[in-house]
Amino acid sequence: MERKVFIYDVWYVTYLSFNNDLRILLKTLQKLFHKESITSIENASLGAWQGNT
């Protein structure tokens, strides 16, 4: 999983532009409004955030 995130980060920095930022924002909003890839609280893969401890 960490390698996949790193690859996405490298792609983002390589192709940094306003158009790509806008595309990412629109895809995020689309997923939010259509509730795609959103996990319910009962099926959450991570526990509740406990702050910076």
Residue-level pLDDT at 2: 82
Residue 40 maps to a domain: no
- Which domain covers residue 15, as residue numbers? 1-29
Q: 12 with 20: CB under 8 angstroms?
A: yes
User: pLDDT below 70 — which residues of the chain?
Assistant: 1, 36-49, 53
When divided into structural domains, the chain yields a total of 1
Residue 10 pLDDT: 94
Residue 7, in any domain of the structure: yes
Q: Give Cβ neighbours of residue 46 (< 8 Å, ≥ 6 apart).
A: none
State percent of the chain over pLDDT 90. Answer: 36
pLDDT score for 38: 62
Q: Hey, how many other C-beta atoms are within 10 angstroms of the C-beta on 29?
A: 10
44 lies in some domain? no
The whole-model pTM stands at 0.52
How far CA 40 is from CA of 17, 24, 43, in Å, comes to 33, 23, 5
- Domain-located, residue 35: no
Domain assignment present for residue 19? The answer is yes
